[in-house]
Amino acid sequence: MSDYRYHSVEPASYGGDYASYGYGNNTNGGFNGYFEAQQKKNNRSKRVVIACIVAMIVLVAVGVGIGVGVSKNSHHTSAKSAESTSGNSSVVSQTDPNDPSTFIKNPALKQSFYGIAYTPYGSQLPNCNNTLEEVITDIQLLSQLTTRIRLYGADCNQSALVLEAIKQTKVDMSVHLAVYPIATDAGAAYVRQRDLVQSALQTYGTDHVLGLTIGNEFILDYLSDNGGASQDPNSDVGNAGADLLLMNITDARSMLQGIGAKIPVGTSDAGSYFNTKVLQAVDFGLSNVHPYFAAQAIDAAASWTLDFFNTTNVQAADALSNKPTMYIAETGWPTKSSSAAAASDGPSIASVENLQIFLNTFVCAANQQSVGYFFFEYFDEGWKVKDVQFGGVEGWWGLFNADRTLKNITIPDCSKSS
């Protein structure tokens, strides 16, 4: 069973395989990797639109921030370089407005999550409209839910912003830094982000760094762009993609060695897309496992996720001599959709009630089974939310809304049992 899934070659066989769990007739192919691949292509073509919207939102946000006297003087120019600053006091209160470590905890938040997936708002080229203020607010909130977060890339100085926010909030938080290489840019994205990671590590050290992830769905994307996502990750095409990724993994290791940073190096991919050569070269693998895209009904979602991860990812990694540690890179449940058509995937239905059920059934069970996971995700990604055209469920996976208010959910309380 695990081999079948791990080596599946046709979208139909994924659908069929998921159907073997009792949820057949999956209308869109039942295959999260393929779905994500399509979404990404759309995303790329919409980048300019997104950038404009993000710029607009941040402009408004900064305006409001000044209006309510949230922060210190000259907010505009100090936003990205301030030595000491504070978060958004309309979301998180601080007893000392100038000391982010004095934030007041929200009793509704419980430190029950192994980890949470996080991208600081606006951390996207070309605009880089992220701010330390916003990252501080995020870290204040995230630290009440978990002690671990993962990033997806390093553009727009996000590694340093996160490490600076951890420093100023003085919270118990560690981060998987990441580099998001692109197979078709001759290594430009890789080098740009590697250098940002290096600089952040040189400034902040590794005390709050769990590891460095090279690649986000690199093999899935490579297959999608070179013949289709239905190909085996260990096919010739998959191995050609792996050779590219391996160059960057090797380079990242020598960068880390060069600065004396002893942290593990890994990669992240969709659950069925781990190439064996890549797994043999990493210390850890982060696997996206999405019951929603696998057309799971909510009542089966948590057990399906844990079983898929165990049989497909953990067992494949255990069979290798280097035995990379596997984590769930993303799992979660969307609360709504920007289009009615995407609001369900077979028996999977996007709703707040179903997110609550997934939280209730997944979080404490995964903790008890010692499964390392990064819940997807911290908040709704506002810049995607605005684009109803390609939106679907993409922008609606947050525990928090885009404005950082908690959704109508109860956070499970099982921190002591993990």
Ligand X SMILES: *[C@@H]1O[C@H](CO)[C@@H](O)[C@H](O)[C@H]1NC(C)=O
> According to CB under 6 A, which residues from 121 to 150 bind ligand X?
127-129, 132, 134
Closest CB to ligand X among 19 and 128? 128
CB of 143 vs ligand X, minimal distance in Å: 18
CB of 198 vs ligand X, minimal distance in Å: 12
Interacting residue with ligand X among 113, 118, 190, 293 (CB under 6 A):
190
Find the part of the chain contacting ligand X (CB under 6 A) among 32-40, 98-106, 242-250, 330-338: 242-250
Q: Is 369 in the site for ligand X (CB under 6 A)?
A: yes
CB of 170 vs ligand X, minimal distance in Å: 15
Closest CB to ligand X among 62 and 350? 62
Interacting residue with ligand X among 3, 299, 318, 353 (CB under 6 A):
353
Cα gap 397→413, rounded to integer Å = 20
Closest CB to ligand X among 77 and 321? 77
Interacting residue with ligand X among 161, 166, 177, 366 (CB under 6 A):
161
Q: Do β-strands 209-216 and 284-288 pair in parallel, antiparallel, or remain unpaired?
A: unpaired
CB of 28 vs ligand X, minimal distance in Å: 28
CB of 252 vs ligand X, minimal distance in Å: 8
CB of 401 vs ligand X, minimal distance in Å: 8
Interacting residue with ligand X among 160, 178, 295, 316 (CB under 6 A):
160
Q: Is 118 in the site for ligand X (CB under 6 A)?
A: no
Q: Is 64 in the site for ligand X (CB under 6 A)?
A: yes
Find the part of the chain contacting ligand X (CB under 6 A) among 18-26, 245-253, 278-286, 336-344: 245-253
CB of 272 vs ligand X, minimal distance in Å: 17
Q: Is 403 in the site for ligand X (CB under 6 A)?
A: yes
CB of 149 vs ligand X, minimal distance in Å: 16
Cα gap 135→120, rounded to integer Å = 6
Closest CB to ligand X among 134 and 217? 134
Closest CB to ligand X among 162 and 346? 162
Interacting residue with ligand X among 23, 32, 34, 58 (CB under 6 A):
58
Cα gap 18→12, rounded to integer Å = 10
Q: Is 247 in the site for ligand X (CB under 6 A)?
A: yes
Interacting residue with ligand X among 44, 67, 77, 186 (CB under 6 A):
186
Interacting residue with ligand X among 55, 263, 357, 414 (CB under 6 A):
55
How many Cβ atoms sit within 10 Å of the Cβ of residue 117? 24
Interacting residue with ligand X among 183, 219, 270, 286 (CB under 6 A):
183
Phi, psi of 154 (to 5 degrees): -125, 5
Side chain identity, residue 261: A
Closest CA to 261 of 200, 306, 220: 200
Q: Is 386 in the site for ligand X (CB under 6 A)?
A: no
Q: Which two tokens stand for residue 191?
A: 């080098």
**Distance from the Cα of residue 398 to its chain's centroid:** 11
Q: What secondary structure, in 3-state letters, does the chain show?
A: CHHHHHCCCCHHHHHHHHHCCCCCCCCCCCCHHHHHHHHHHHHHHCHHHHHHHHHHHHHHHHHHHHHCCCCCCCHHHHCCCCCCCCCCCCCCCECCCCCHHHECCCCCCCCCECCEECCCCCCCCCCCCCCHHHHHHHHHHHCCCECEEECCCCHHHHHHHHHHHHHHHCCCCEEEEEECCCCCCCCHHHHHHHHHHHHHHHHHCCCCEEEEEEEECHHHHHHHHCCCCCCCCCCHHHHHHHHHHHHHHHHHHHHHHHCCCCCCEEEEEECCCCCHHHHCCCCEEEEECCCCCCCCCHHHHHHHHHHHHHHHHHHHHHCCCCCCEEEEEEECCCCCCCCHHHCEECCEECCHHHHHHHHHHHHHHHHHCCCCEEECCCECCHHHHCCHHHHCCCCCCCCECCCCCECCCCCCCCHHHC
> According to CB under 6 A, which residues from 196 to 215 bind ligand X?
none
Closest CB to ligand X among 72 and 80? 80
> According to CB under 6 A, which residues from 312 to 351 bind ligand X?
none
Map residues 294-313 to x or -, x wherever contact with ligand X holds by CB under 6 A.
----------------x---
Closest CA to 150 of 284, 323, 249: 284
Q: Kindly list the residues in this chain that would bind ligand X in the complex (CB under 6 A).
A: 55, 58-59, 61-62, 64-65, 70, 80-81, 88, 90-91, 127-129, 132, 134, 157, 160-161, 164, 181, 183, 186-187, 190-191, 244, 247-248, 251, 310, 353, 369, 403-404, 408
